[in-house]
Amino acid sequence: MIFKQEIVNLLDRMAVQYELYEHQPIKTVAESQDLGLPHQEWATKNFFLRDKKKKHYFIITTQENKSVDLRTIRQILGTSALSFASDEDLGNMLGVVSGAVSPFGALNDESQKVKVYIDRLFEGHLMDAHPNDNGATMFLPAEDVIRVLRESGRTADYIDLPGEEEEEDGEGEAETETEIETDTASRSKILVSQCLFGGDPVRYDGQSKTLKDPLFLKWKSEGRLVPVCPEVFGGLSVPRPDAQIVGERVINREGTDVTDAYRKGAQEAVRLAKEYQVAFAVMKEKSPSCGSNEIYDGTFSGNRIAGQGLAVKLLREAGVKVFSEEQLEEAAKLL
């Protein structure tokens, strides 16, 4: 289980900017409002929910004053009936007590049953979160909360939640729900190589290859992109020796067989593609993991051959269409 200090250490390691406030333990939204913390417009409340058969658990984070009903969340997530998880589940799965729930609780869920969904209202903004301790509150970008969870192997994303506070013209809930449903349905997800997505460098040489193509940036701003670095997800470090495919194996420049790590990361890419039901994937060309048309020939001499990386191979075998960063227009036809 990880708590405040470990979360602080994790954020520091990932170079996440945050503000941390220590205070007396609180249990309710009203108590948190009395603390006089800054950024109250980005204060949250969190629901820890489960489905009927207790197979799926969710942490739903929305704005403190927003009214959202469980039926609406259930419809958006496409689950069976939802109810609040018990205090026992809170302790066993998240390691926290009532009043301390936040997306960081999912870091303690070793079974990885818990999925985190943060109201899209927070996209591009700060949000508050207890660091698994209701005696402290952090403020940090919602983007970073999602990134920390994903890079820790958890499932985290935004969710479009209709709520009563958005109904300023009094035209009723039905119209709001219809708009949200249409918007959600049209926002297909796209799996992308993390080095194209940007953020923390993940390439073997400690660099990124952040893609600035306008179409890619548009997809990014729409919240469609699901970044994955198969090599990092497979347990390899940054930086690391570069590797190439030699026959059926992946061998790095030092002669070490790294096939197992590459395969593990490739399987994680497939898991994410299925999880998000992606429309397609855009993967970095020439990589022994992500190359989709061309890879290096295994001699470390700079020669390229037609071929595909290990993650792309597994993605295609799983039925996912894969394009390179040079084929965005072609890929866009599938949306």
Q: How far is the CB of 298 from ligand SF4 (least distance, A)?
A: 16
Instruction: Looking at residues 274 to 293 of the shown chain, list those that interact with ligand SF4 (rule: CB under 6 A).
Output: 284, 287, 289-290
Helix axes 259-275, 310-317, angle to 10 degrees: 40
147 near ligand SF4 (CB under 6 A)? no
Q: How far is the CB of 57 from ligand SF4 (least distance, A)?
A: 29
**Residue 69 phi, psi (nearest 5):** -100, 155
154 near ligand SF4 (CB under 6 A)? no
Continuous segment of H or E residues that includes residue 144: helix 142-151
Q: Which stretch binds ligand SF4 (CB under 6 A): 109-117, 169-177, 187-195, 248-256?
A: 187-195
Q: Which stretch binds ligand SF4 (CB under 6 A): 29-37, 141-149, 190-198, 240-248?
A: 190-198
Are residues 209 and 195 in contact, defined by beta-carbon separation less than 8 angstroms?
yes
Q: Determine the 3-state secondary structure of 47 from DSSP.
A: strand
Instruction: Looking at residues 195 to 234 of the shown chain, list those that interact with ligand SF4 (rule: CB under 6 A).
Output: 195, 202-203, 229-231
193 near ligand SF4 (CB under 6 A)? yes
194 near ligand SF4 (CB under 6 A)? yes
Distance between CA atoms of residues 185 and 178, nearest Å: 11
Are residues 153 and 24 in contact, defined by beta-carbon separation less than 8 angstroms?
no
Q: Which is nearer to ligand SF4, 156 or 269 (CB)?
A: 269
Number of other CB atoms surrounding residue 252 within 10 Å = 19
Are residues 153 and 121 in contact, defined by beta-carbon separation less than 8 angstroms?
no
The distance from CA 244 to its chain's CA centroid, rounded to whole angstroms, is 28
Q: Which is nearer to ligand SF4, 136 or 211 (CB)?
A: 211
**Residue 239 phi, psi (nearest 5):** -75, 175
Q: How far is the CB of 210 from ligand SF4 (least distance, A)?
A: 11
Distance between CA atoms of residues 293 and 307, nearest Å: 5
Give, in order, the Cα–Cα distances in Å from 335 to each of 62, 156, 230, 279. Answer: 28, 22, 24, 7
Q: Which stretch binds ligand SF4 (CB under 6 A): 1-9, 92-100, 137-145, 189-197?
A: 189-197
Sign for the CA dihedral angle at 234, 239, 241, 244 comes to positive
Q: How far is the CB of 225 from ligand SF4 (least distance, A)?
A: 12
Cis bond upstream, residue 25 (ω within 30): no
Q: How far is the CB of 155 from ligand SF4 (least distance, A)?
A: 19
Q: How far is the CB of 12 from ligand SF4 (least distance, A)?
A: 23
Q: One symbol per residue from 229 to 268: x for binding ligand SF4 (CB under 6 A), - otherwise; what is it?
A: xxx-------------------------------------
307 near ligand SF4 (CB under 6 A)? no
Residues 6+ apart with CB under 8 A from 59: 46, 47, 48, 49, 94, 101, 102, 103, 105, 106, 114, 115, 116, 117
Question: By CB under 6 A, how many residues form the interface with ligand SF4?
Answer: 12
Q: How far is the CB of 285 from ligand SF4 (least distance, A)?
A: 8
Q: Which is nearer to ligand SF4, 73 or 202 (CB)?
A: 202
Q: How far is the CB of 197 from ligand SF4 (least distance, A)?
A: 8
**Nearest by Cα to 240 from 231, 230, 249:** 231
| Residues near ligand SF4 (CB under 6 A) | 193-195, 202-203, 229-231, 284, 287, 289-290
